[in-house]
Amino acid sequence: MMTKSGEKSPKKNGVNAPAVADEVDGPLLHSDAPPGELSTWMTNISPTLYDTPIWKLTIPGSHDSGSYGLSVDLGVSPDRPDLQRNIFVRLFKCFSLPTIHRWTKTQSLDITGQLAAGIRYIDIRTASKVDDNNLYFCHGLYGPQVVDMLHQINAFLQQNQREIVFIDFQHFYRLSDDDHKQLTTKIMEIFGRKLVPYSSQLLMDRITLRYLWDKRQQVFVYYRNETGRMEAPVLWPSRCLPNPWANTMSREKLTSFLDTNISGRPPNSMYVTQGILTPSNRYVGLHFYSSLRWDLADACNQCLTKWLEDKSAGTKGPNIVMSDFVEWNGYEIPLKTVKLNEKLALNAYKN
């Protein structure tokens, strides 16, 4: 595998490490290859859990999954109209755009690398671009083309036919009806029969790994625009994936928020735990020289790791666990998240 600079990725135990986007906010250019068990953790899950509804499993996810490819060259994206209008940002791009990049980048690994790291929930924010027919990932800046991200997912699934991925089209910016039609058509075209068709949440207890394997279905797509979703009713509506956001910089407030929300998570439903801290505009302005990773994400990941320690998969446990920089500390969060399923398997075996 090649990096952007054209160098070969480093190897660990003879395996290529996943490519990592070039950093402007720190020395990390590569990551060690993830533990081998993460890339096929669903394939190798305990047989005791084959018939467990998937909403009771714990599943690693990434926040702003396409931010590994954010580019200062493509400019400020429409999810931040305040920055698009800001005179300072427009006049001093050589300073402002790298600062925005450091504070909006939440992932270092590309989609292929995230999937190899056990990530099975992909968070996509989509935007159009003036005088450009393509649709892009966005988070403050424009990133990779959405279609390229989808092709990475499909290539992984073709090679790993017992792995299941959840794609959350969480936000849309400046998409016309034609843009939605283009995107939903492309989703159908790329994944085809791999798509898990939308069905009533009352039937979620029937959707297990064995059920999906038997039907050779591998992809849930949640499309949080109902008008656009009508172009492809096979896609899942927003209400089927609650995704509460703490919107805080405080670790204490975050853990309290996570505890409160997980205790009331709805039954028969997938559910996202957002283990992330969000900086305010004022904080970024005062810490323009730093980055999300060094100021907030590492500390947040330590907090999330501790929060997971006494958790178990199941009805009132976490389901999808979303985090920043998923390779952090030797892939500790994906590893811990997957291991919660072992507790569930042990309890099921005892009963």
Q: Which of 63, 151, 171, 180 is catalytic?
A: 63
Residue 334 CA, distance from chain mean position? 12
Closest among 55, 246, 217, 220 to 122, alpha carbons compared: 220
Per the annotation, the verdict on 101 as an active-site residue is no
Per the annotation, the verdict on 63 as an active-site residue is yes
Q: Which of 101, 139, 151, 171 is catalytic?
A: 139
Provide the annotated active-site residues: 63, 139
